[in-house]
Structure 1
Amino acid sequence: MVPFELPRYTSFKRLASGKIAFYWTCPSAYRKDGCPFLSAPLGINLSQSEVADAAKIWNDRLDDWRRSRHASPDVKHTRYGTIDWLVDAYLKHDSFRERVSEYSRPDYRRVFDRVCDLEIKSDRGSEFRVGDVKINQIGVSTAEKVYHAFCDQGAARTSEKVVTYCKAMWKRMRPHYPDLFRSDTPNPWEGVTVRRREKATKGHADRDATYRFARGALANDAPELAAAAVLAFEWLLRPSNIGAGWAAWTGYRGDAHPDKIVIRHRKNGEVAMHPLEYVDDEGNVVRLYSDAEAILSQVPQRGISIVAKQDGTLYGDGTLLSQRVREIADKIGLPSFTLDAARHGGMTELEEAGLTEGEGRVLSKHRTSTAYRGYAKETELRVLSATKKRFGHSEKAEKVNKNNGRKVGKST
């Protein structure tokens, strides 16, 4: 018998050991409606406040999803067949909900809102709002004007998103409303020539820098930041995942998987189950992430999330977590260290270790080769390894481990 009131959508059951396990489960009505959050273990033998804190994370996510899905567009009445109407229809259509992840949808809405509110000049000199224009009035020249308007604002990345998002919307909605689209130019956005731009190469933090930061964060009374660095580097978690609490203590050596850390990637919904140890041929237990676990052992459990502020609340999707990381990094002499750099460093280490693309994607949970390939940096070690393979040279396994700086602990 649980002697307190359970939060919404929370249940419990008594395990064979006599302990009480708590769970959060999404109602079936919301599951059928496409909610991406299905269920989650909250913990074992939790107190009233701990259950409330753990359930609040998932109830807040569910409430946000419900608001974003069912919110009316600011009492805006759109005329049938206009771009405003097309955007509204697309955002509610299965072709959008099934192909665009929950994480990416706000960005689509933001870009589409900017496109609809944009005012450009016609060939005759009169100004018009893009959202008020009929779909069949958008040709290649108008699409180019929209694109160049964003370029002229200095929003190079956003202008690329405008073309990509609008091209997808035209492609997916035209089969459902063929009479509303032009027959001579089925998809005008395909005719827009996107300017080439020099894309900045993100830096990366290697294993040594990551653990220097982690030790420095512990020394500066910021253990959750040490954990964040390890999660980004070792288990390739996006900073947005970390700040929003998607790495939970219940997934770290939990009852269901005591030899693994289980993490769900927020962007694509993929679940990664990383083994933390294995038994060798001699029956010894080999710890794979001994350095990382040594850091995690010094992180206090302030709630269900591994990375949480002192009061147990999450850092969230804003820049607060990045700011705190930057403060500590500057203080200990690592000004270029960021969580993003740590994640890119972990991805680079996969390539330096000689993993195949398939093996790397198993760990990073990227769904496509294109998404995976952009992370690993062309380091000197990768060039050297490729050159040796070219000329038929090989190196012993222990030399590879030395170069990679890998450390594995062994226990019986």
Structure 2
Amino acid sequence: MKRKPPGWPKYMETKPAAAGGVRYHWNAPSWARKRGYPVTSEPLGSDYAVAKARCDDFLNPAFDSWRTGGVTDESAKPRALVGTFDWAVSAYKADKKYTKRPSRTRTDYDRALNDVAGYILKDGRRFGSLNVKSINATAVDRLYEKLRVKNGVSRDRSALLSMTVCKLAWDVACRAHPSVVPASNPFKGVDVEYEPKQNRAATSEQLRQFVRGADEDGTPSLGTAAMIAFYWLVREEDIFSRMAWPDYRPAEQSSHVLVWHHKNRKTEKIAIPLFDVDGTPLWPEMMARLDGLTRTGTLIVMRDNPDPRKKIHMPWMTGGRNPMRYVQAEVRRICRAVGLPEDITFTSFRHGGHTDGADSGLTDAQMRALGAHKSTAALLRYAKETDTQRKIAARKRLNKRTERGNLSE
């Protein structure tokens, strides 16, 4: 299309349709994609009026809101017709069950919801434009099968996340608007086919290997972060955005470290003792590391070099929509440099700490106390089963049999 009509929406493009004519697409500019804008593109069908309305009423206002940090929200709020799936999603995003989730989680949820809402049906309509009362379990089952594959590539994990988040969004919208959203949730009971990939647990030797590599690389803060994850079982976002120097040996509890645990929209600190009853350090490696650091900011883990413009050390979790991806990329680079397996990630160090605890013979109660887990079921996602644990279990059974034998003599 050489000449565009007056009022052509920003970022809307055309592509030839297989049956002739054109189909419309909205594409985010390349600079926004690089900065992590979650909606990179969306097919809009072949109806110009529908495509234009979608861009004018939702996609471009949402993009402007992200671009300006919310400055344009009052004058250009995204709108959706009451009763549509888009509207139900908007109701969910206005609820605290969405707004209180971490930024990285919201980004993932946005992408999952957009995969569903932006799906183009055979008649050219978007799934998001459907009235919620017309969406049934059969339609959702068919949609799930379509989302599982894209361009010949399996996307089982993404499809599962889409179904999970839509199920939550539907329940929230129904609770807020019971007269509009049916109580029967069509996203419940979808027969998903996905076997989640287990995170690899790093060993203590792999931790030491990574820390040496980080120190040699000039990014020792990442080595410190990995040690905190391994020894004190802290989540990566808590390490990089919450754990501060006042938490380490505070005046009111100088023999403890206060460890952050932000999970399921709740934040708590637990006090971990640093010394045994006889004064022996319980975490000598970790304490030696922290005691030898130069404090460059409020947080324990700060970037290793001062910002070129601000001339101060900045937290790792700054800049871009998902700064944790940058941290993960740096961790992956160091892992490759020191020859660690490809499936070792930053998460591996926390999983490794849990597994190390299980290998040490800690009981479930002791593991839950250290990791601030509310249940054994949650704990089992982190502490991997190992041959060492089986040997400990076998040794305990052998000792018990021997004890019974001695008693019977």
TM-score w.r.t. the length of structure 2 is 0.69
Residue 300 of structure 2 aligns with which residue?
Answer: 306
Residue 162 of structure 2 aligns with which residue?
Answer: 162
How many residue pairs get aligned? The number is: 319
- Greater shift after overlay, 339-348 or 381-390? 381-390
Q: Does the CA contact (< 8 Å) of 1:112 and 1:162 recur in 2?
A: yes
Match of 1:385 among 392, 396, 405: 392
Q: How does 1:12-411 map to 2 (within 5 A)?
A: 71=73, 75-94=77-96, 96=98, 104-121=105-122, 126-153=123-150, 154-182=154-182, 186-195=184-193, 197-242=194-239, 244-268=240-264, 269-278=266-275, 280=277, 284-309=278-303, 310-311=305-306, 312-316=313-317, 317-336=323-342, 337-393=344-400
Q: Distance in 2 between matches of 1:166 and 1:120?
A: 18
Structure 2 CA distance for partners of 1:251 and 1:70, relative to 1, 3 Å = farther
Structure 2 CA distance for partners of 1:146 and 1:246, relative to 1, 3 Å = same
The offset of 1:141, in angstroms, is: 1.3
Q: Distance in 2 between matches of 1:73 and 1:198?
A: 45
| Per-residue deviation, residues 366-401 of structure 1 (Å, max 9, x unmatched) | 344433211111111011122233444499xxxxxx
What letter is aligned with 2:191?
T
Structure 2 CA distance for partners of 1:101 and 1:228, relative to 1, 3 Å = closer
Partner-residue secondary structure (3-state), 2:228 = helix
Partner-residue secondary structure (3-state), 1:105 = helix
Q: Distance in 2 between matches of 1:228 and 1:285?
A: 26
Q: Distance in 2 between matches of 1:210 and 1:344?
A: 11
What letter is aligned with 2:347?
D
- Greater shift after overlay, 378-387 or 295-304? 295-304
Residue identity over aligned pairs, in percent, reads 26
Q: Distance in 1 between matches of 2:141 and 2:95?
A: 26
What letter is aligned with 2:361?
G
Stretches of structure 2 lacking an aligned partner (at least 5 in a row) = 1-65, 307-312, 318-322, 403-409
Partner-residue secondary structure (3-state), 1:345 = helix
What letter is aligned with 2:231?
E
Q: Does the CA contact (< 8 Å) of 1:246 and 1:263 recur in 2?
A: no
Q: Distance in 1 between matches of 2:196 and 2:315?
A: 32
Structure 2 CA distance for partners of 1:219 and 1:295, relative to 1, 3 Å = farther
Stretches of structure 1 lacking an aligned partner (at least 5 in a row) = 1-63, 396-412
RMSD (CA atoms): 3.1
What letter is aligned with 1:306?
I
The offset of 1:72, in angstroms, is: 6.4
Q: Does the CA contact (< 8 Å) of 1:224 and 1:307 recur in 2?
A: yes
The offset of 1:203, in angstroms, is: 1.6
- Using CA pairs under 8 Å that are at least 6 residues apart, name the structure with larger relative contact order, 1 or 2: 1
Q: Does the CA contact (< 8 Å) of 1:226 and 1:295 recur in 2?
A: no
Q: Does the CA contact (< 8 Å) of 2:272 and 2:370 recur in 1?
A: no
| Per-residue deviation, residues 158-186 of structure 1 (Å, max 9, x unmatched) | 21112212222333432443332447xx1
TM-score w.r.t. the length of structure 1 is 0.69
Structure 2 CA distance for partners of 1:233 and 1:73, relative to 1, 3 Å = farther
The offset of 1:220, in angstroms, is: 4.2
The offset of 1:348, in angstroms, is: 0.6
Q: Does the CA contact (< 8 Å) of 1:276 and 1:289 recur in 2?
A: no
Q: Does the CA contact (< 8 Å) of 1:103 and 1:266 recur in 2?
A: no
